[in-house]
């Protein structure tokens, strides 16, 4: 009887060990061949079979850059049954050969036992035939989507808070009718100082306008982004936007030796903050101390982070001589593992060290 019991256990164990789902693709590469850049998105279908003896479930279908796999079998696939994954590729603005991968994980034992197991890999490939240039591209106007376009709608500057800067923007009307062009919300730090055309751009007309950015009136410090809008009657894109990326520093050049001697002096308790190991989608807060060892009030001009997952704040804006303030740094771990890094800039009116940079580290498990 004991031998029969041991035999039964052995047989059941063997059955349990081999009872598992298993995916098998008909093909692991889909070749689109030659496709036209202007022809629109193309979709390839991968068919697979569950050759195991337990229901198969796709647990993650993650495409590489440049393709999507939004459509695939969501329900469990019974043994012997088939499922599919559809991969879509957008060839627009991607001329030339391409080879992209899609990573697939399932409820097969190796993935359940090890979340870092190598996924199944399927591939799409092909060659995109370059489209003829548009009338906008021929004229050098590649930004925007409307019939009226600004050639280069971006401005980038490093400047002192006492400076102003002029930027010239070229614009062209590709439409068959006149187009109005008006500053949407005038402000005191960005102003239009000249334009080569009137209130309207005539059909086919090309012109330019000049904007002045006044850092002193803007009143902010450090890395700043600002956008302004122009309203038009362009039926495709009525709002035209100019983007500014400005790094503004405080001008201490007019301080006298006595003023420098009596100025605030910034010191930080740490130049590196390590959040350590964190689980996905969790939150954690760390603090550092900013101390004013100078002889006059320190003003915190700006607190900024290079990574949006890290936020920095302070409950005070001014620190008296000999005083200190707590700088709070909070981190929201994303839903993916890996190292996260950032720099935090603490900008003050300390003329010798107006920017204190703190290095931030974290590891998401």
Confidence bin at 150 (pLDDT 50/70/90) = very high
CA-nearest of 160, 152, 155 to 244 is: 155
**pLDDT for res 68:** 78
Strands 42-50 and 82-89: antiparallel
Instruction: Name the CATH architecture for the domain at 135-249.
Output: Sandwich (2.60)
In the predicted model, is pLDDT for residue 14 greater than 60? no
* Helix (H/G/I), strand (E/B), else coil: 111: helix
Q: What is the pLDDT of residues 31-45, one digit of tens each?
A: 999 999 999 999 999
Ordered by start, the domain boundaries in the chain are 17-129, 135-249, 257-364
pTM: predicted TM-score of the whole model, two decimal places: 0.73
CB-neighbour burial class of residue 179 (10 A; exposed 0-12, middle 13-18, buried 19+): buried
Which residues on adjacent β-strands are paired with residue 94? none
Query: DSSP secondary-structure letter at 39?
Result: G
For 319-329, give one letter per residue: b (16+ CB within 10 A) or e: beeeebbebeb
- Report, as an integer, the average pLDDT of 329-338: 91
In the predicted model, is pLDDT for residue 309 greater than 90? yes
In the predicted model, is pLDDT for residue 12 greater than 60? no
Query: DSSP secondary-structure letter at 202?
Result: P
In the predicted model, is pLDDT for residue 2 greater than 90? no
Enumerate the H helices of 122-254 as residue ranges.
135-138, 215-218
Confidence bin at 11 (pLDDT 50/70/90) = very low
- Report, as an integer, the average pLDDT of 16-45: 90
**pLDDT for res 352:** 95
Q: What is the pLDDT of residues 260-276, one digit of tens each?
A: 999 999 999 999 999 99
In the predicted model, is pLDDT for residue 13 greater than 70? no
Contact, 117 vs 107, CB < 8 A? Answer: no
Instruction: Name the CATH architecture for the domain at 17-129.
Output: Sandwich (2.60)
In the predicted model, is pLDDT for residue 70 greater than 90? no
Cα 46 to the chain's mean position, in Å?
A: 30
Rounded to whole angstroms, the Cα distance separating 266 from 56 reads: 61
Rounded to whole angstroms, the Cα distance separating 137 from 134 reads: 5
Residue 121 CB-half CA count within 13 A? 7
Q: Tokens for 296, please give them.
A: 């006059």
Rounded to whole angstroms, the Cα distance separating 31 from 33 reads: 5
The answer to whether the 17-129 and 257-364 domains have the same CATH topology is yes
Query: DSSP secondary-structure letter at 135?
Result: H
Confidence bin at 69 (pLDDT 50/70/90) = confident
Rounded to whole angstroms, the Cα distance separating 258 from 255 reads: 8
For 101-133, give one letter per residue: b (16+ CB within 10 A) or e: bbebbbbbbebeeeeeeebbebbbbbebeeeee
- First and final CA of the chain: distance in angstroms? 50
- Report, as an integer, the average pLDDT of 71-96: 94
Residue 17 parent element (H or E): helix 2-18
Task: Work out the mean pLDDT of the chain and round it to a whole number.
Answer: 92
Confidence bin at 17 (pLDDT 50/70/90) = low
Confidence bin at 337 (pLDDT 50/70/90) = confident
**pLDDT for res 270:** 95
Strands 338-348 and 355-364: antiparallel
Q: Where are the beta strands (DSSP E) in 279-354?
A: 283-292, 298-305, 310-314, 318-319, 324-332, 338-348
Best CATH choice for the domain 257-364 from the list 3.40.50.720, 2.60.40.10, 3.20.20.70, 2.30.40.10: 2.60.40.10
Strands 120-129 and 29-36: parallel
Higher pLDDT: 186 or 346? It is 346
* C-alpha torsion sign, points 91, 95, 96, 98: negative
- Report, as an integer, the average pLDDT of 100-129: 93
Q: What is the pLDDT of residues 165-216, one digit of tens each?
A: 999 999 999 999 999 999 988 899 999 999 999 999 999 999 999 999 999 9
């Amino acid at each position: 009887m004991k031998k029969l019991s041991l035999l039964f256990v052995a047989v059941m164990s063997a059955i349990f060990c081999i009872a598992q789902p298993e995916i098998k693709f008909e093909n692991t590469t889909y070749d689109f061949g030659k496709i036209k850049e202007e022809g629109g998105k193309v979709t390839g279908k991968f068919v697979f079979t569950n050759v195991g003896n337990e229901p198969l479930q796709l647990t993650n279908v993650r495409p590489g850059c440049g393709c999507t796999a939004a459509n695939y079998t969501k329900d469990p696939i019974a043994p012997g049954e088939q499922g599919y994954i559809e991969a879509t590729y957008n060839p627009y603005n991607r001329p030339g050969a391409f080879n992209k991968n899609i990573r697939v994980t399932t409820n097969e034992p190796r993935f359940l036992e090890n979340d870092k197991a190598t996924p199944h890999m399927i591939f799409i490939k092909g060659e995109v035939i370059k489209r003829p240039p548009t009338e906008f591209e021929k004229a050098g106007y590649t930004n925007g989507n409307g019939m009226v376009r600004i050639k280069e709608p971006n401005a980038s500057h490093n400047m002192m808070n006492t400076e102003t800067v002029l930027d010239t923007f070229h614009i062209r009307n590709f439409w068959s009718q006149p187009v109005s062009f008006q500053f949407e919300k005038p402000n005191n730090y960005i102003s239009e100082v000249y334009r080569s055309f009137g209130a309207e751009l005539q059909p086919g007309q090309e012109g330019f306008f000049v904007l002045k950015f006044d850092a002193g009136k803007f009143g902010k410090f450090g890395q700043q982004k600002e956008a302004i809008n122009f309203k038009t009657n362009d039926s495709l894109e009525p709002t035209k936007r100019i983007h500014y990326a400005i790094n503004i520093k405080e001008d201490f050049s007019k301080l006298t030796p006595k003023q420098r001697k009596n100025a605030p002096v910034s010191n930080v308790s740490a130049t590196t903050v390590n959040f350590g190991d964190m689980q996905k989608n969790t939150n954690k807060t760390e603090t550092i101390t900013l101390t004013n060892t100078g002889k006059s009030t320190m003003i915190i001009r700006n607190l900024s982070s290079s990574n949006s997952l890290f936020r920095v704040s302070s409950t005070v804006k001014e620190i008296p001589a000999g005083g200190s303030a707590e700088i709070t740094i909070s981190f929201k771990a994303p839903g993916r593992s890996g190292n996260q890094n950032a720099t935090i800039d603490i900008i003050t009116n300390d003329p010798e060290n107006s920017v204190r940079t703190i290095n931030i580290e974290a590891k998401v498990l």
